[in-house]
Chain A
Amino acid sequence: MKLSVFRPILCLAALLFFAAIPVSPAADEKAPVAAAGASDFNAKNTFRNICSFCHEDYGRKAGKGPQLMNNTNSDEYLFNRIKNGKAGRMAAFGGAFTDDQIRDMVKFIRSLRPDQEP
């Protein structure tokens, strides 16, 4: 039996059978969209939206990437690593964020403490 013969039936069946949960999505929660250069840049939000994929617990703990809290490298080193990345270990975010935004990220990393929420 070829599925294509029964395609209309299957499509209908799919709509009836597989759409397990009826949906009435609200349009009032339209997903906001931001450019990286937006003036409301927030280092903490950016960190947990992007950086937390590799640096766990806001970077207070290692994960796929190293722990960032108490990092002994200089601010300049951190700035350059965020901006330029390192092949195979970390993406370069220089094209996504401005220098000022990256400096804000470095400040956020420097503010991390083990006993208080960032």
Chain B
Amino acid sequence: MKLENRLTVKGVLFAAVTGVVWSATASADVTHESILKADPANWPTYHGSFKSWHYSALDQINSKNVKGLKEAWSHMPSRATRGLQSFPLAADGVLYYTSAYNQLYALDGATGAVLWIYKQKLDEDLVAKQTHSPYNRGVALGNGNVYMGTLDGKLVAVDMKTGKLNWETKLVDSKKLTVGFTGAPLFVKDKVIIGAQGGEWPGRGPIFGVEAKSGQLVWTFNTSGGNEGTPSDRRDTWGGDSWKTGGGGGWMAGAYDPETDTVWWGTANPAPLYDWAGPEWQTKGPRPGTNLYTTAVILLNPDTGELKNYHQELPHDAWDFDSSMGEFVFLERDGKKYVVHPNKGGHVFVYDRGGKVQNVYAGVDNINFVKGVDPKTGELIGRRDMVEGKHTNLCPAIAGGYSWNAGTYNPKTGLYYRVGYEWCMDLEIVKTTPVLEPMAQLNIGANFTMHGPGSDKAWGHVRARDPITGKVKWAMDFKNGIPHGSLLSTGGNLLFIPEADGHLSAVDASTGKVLWRHNNGNLHDGGIITYMAKGKQYVAVEVGKGSLVTDGYGDLWGEPYSSMPTDGGILKVFALD
């Protein structure tokens, strides 16, 4: 009997009892130090490394030989409802990834053989009541565990070697708040840090620091108003009790700066999304004030959760352009150290390592929610604050100028690559009352219709630019469906673009010239990585449509998006012969 078959038989028997498929195959541990070491053979954390580059120095596959890239193996998960939106990780030749309903897989990185499967026992009745569900966006590795946030509000630690549950900790009362966790955690030192869903849900948007070894909750930071009794307490930036239902949260994994021992996290928008106060938002409306710390970049002590500093990218965000994009690109230029962070509104904020704005530039063409952002201070210029009633041509549309799919920085080309979205919408701002009982419900505050800018259809682009100045070196436009998978660049002078129409493209990272394309058969809504297994370089990409952004593609562009399934997905892995 072949090894794979033997494992499968054993797995079925074992799964009947525990829900876990097991094998004796093991991988070496991932530690804080090994993540710092940034061995390009591995992809041990959501953003590739603590630098958030989504880049690998691997160059076995390169611009000269990529035309020979072929499918090596694939894996089809069960219950891929809303496609695949997670992000694979790899360590010592083992690939880990998740599908919907918090199902976690460990696969042999060279063959795809299943090493173990972990299926979280969920409160399925609760999950059925969630609108932003049942997808999972990724996991963290460290201290011998795979860490995963669950839809019903838990953080779980699954043994990397055996797939057995080591601990689980309930962090969010999802029966009350409806939402739980969909984003990936971040493993830093001896802590696991994870942000709850928030935004348009009337809660306080907590971010948690949990002891990696035991699962004990160490700290909580409330992004809606900060923590009472500490210097972070800024409930005074919320009128009345609106901080209690302020939203916020941090639904994508942040980053870590080892030089300053600081966690950087992007926070989500306040609730309701849209605000009828208009220009009088400082004193009127449902949430008067700047609404700290929503739509902000916050700098936290990873050990204590203490707020070190912050910059609110959009004070009193009235447009759902949150700062949740988790990538904080740490880089140096001419002896100066920077952090580059995209905001959903389509601007890119450049900070120093202390959180002070160094530059701000627009990454997309169609922005009119503000006339501009002061590049020296980050202050918004010419806000478009809307009163109750109808408004036309707000740009970008609710889905953002940038979305949560990650960009990539390539230190060899010195370029930062990101997908940008050119779309707008008409909307009617309405007065709302948050529904909190018996379960919290979405608190939108508007009725809207998305469309393209001007008389154009919605379109988008991948732009390769100087990350500090924003100067574009080359661009690739997409007129019939905008990519929504994350990007990957490599030391082989390659940029991989998982496109919306199903193609995975490899382009010359220096010029944008297309070198290789392969049709994966469905839209890409998830992550892409490269890693080494048994001395060979692989590229792994998630395939499967179903995010809340791409759900609207059929209405915007028709086919092939209208008929693409949203209840299936597959992990595809490529290598040279």
Chain A residues engaging chain B, CB cutoff 8 angstroms: 1-4, 7, 10-11, 13-14, 17-21, 23-37, 45-50, 52-54, 56-58, 61-65, 84-85, 87-96
Contacts and interface: CB of A to CB of B under 8 A. Distances in A.
B511 interface: no
Contacts of A89: 566
Interface stretch (B209-217, B303-311, B486-494): B303-311
A88 B260 contact: no
B404 to A, nearest CB: 15
Nearest to A17: B356
A103 B270 CA distance: 31
B551 A3 contact: no
Contacts of A58: 447
B573 interface: no
B415 interface: no
Interface stretch (B3-11, B44-52, B127-135, B474-482): B127-135
A20 B312 contact: yes
A96 B288 contact: no
Contacts of A18: 309-312, 355
A56 B379 CA distance: 32
Interface stretch (B14-22, B236-244, B328-336, B521-529): B236-244
Given A48-B446, A49-B430, A52-B447, A31 B282 contact: no
A54 B552 CA distance: 8
13 contacts: A2-B260, A21-B282, A35-B435, A45-B430, A49-B445, A54-B131, A58-B447, A63-B449, A63-B450, A85-B128, A85-B129, A95-B129, A96-B129
Which label, helix, strand, loop or mixed, suits the secondary structure of the A interface?
A: loop
B548 interface: yes
Given A3-B299, A20-B315, A23-B237, 13 more contacts: A3-B260, A3-B308, A3-B354, A20-B312, A24-B283, A25-B282, A49-B435, A53-B131, A56-B449, A56-B555, A61-B555, A87-B81, A91-B129
B260 to A, nearest CB: 4
Interface in B226-249: 231, 236-242, 244-245
A53 B129 contact: no
Contacts of B288: 23, 25-26, 29
Nearest to A61: B449
Counting from the closest, the 9 A-B pairs by CB-CB distance are A25-B239, A88-B81, A30-B240, A35-B437, A64-B551, A25-B288, A25-B289, A23-B289, A48-B447
B561 to A, nearest CB: 12
B161 interface: no
Interface residues of B, number: 81
Contacts of B237: 19, 23, 25
Given A3-B260, A14-B309, A64-B548, A25 B354 contact: no
Interface in B66-99: 81-82
B438 A27 contact: no
A87 B437 CA distance: 23
Contacts of B356: 17
A26 B444 contact: no
B128 A92 contact: yes
Contacts of A24: 282-283
Nearest to B239: A25
Contact of A48 (B240, B262, B430, B436): B430
Nearest to B245: A31
Contact of A53 (B241, B261, B442): B442
Contacts of B567: 88
A7 B315 CA distance: 23
Contact of A7 (B308, B450, B552): B308
B282 to A, nearest CB: 6
A50 B439 CA distance: 13
Which residue, of B82, B377, B430, has the highest number of chain A Cβ atoms within 10 A? B430
A21 B445 contact: no
A38 to B, nearest CB: 8
B444 A48 contact: yes
Given A25-B236, A31-B245, A58-B447, A95 B282 contact: no
Nearest to A8: B231
A21 B316 contact: yes
Given A48-B430, A63-B555, A87-B128, A30 B242 contact: yes
A33 B309 contact: no
B129 A93 contact: yes
A31 B308 contact: no
Contact of B240 (A3, A25, A54, A91): A25
A50 B442 contact: yes
Nearest to A3: B260
B566 to A, nearest CB: 7
A63 B450 CA distance: 8
B100 interface: yes
Which residue, of A11, A46, A65, has the highest number of chain B Cβ atoms within 10 A? A11
B394 to A, nearest CB: 14
Contacts of A3: 260-262, 299, 308-309, 354
Given A3-B260, A49-B443, A88-B81, A96 B435 contact: yes
A96 B354 contact: no
Nearest to A88: B81
Contacts of A35: 435-438
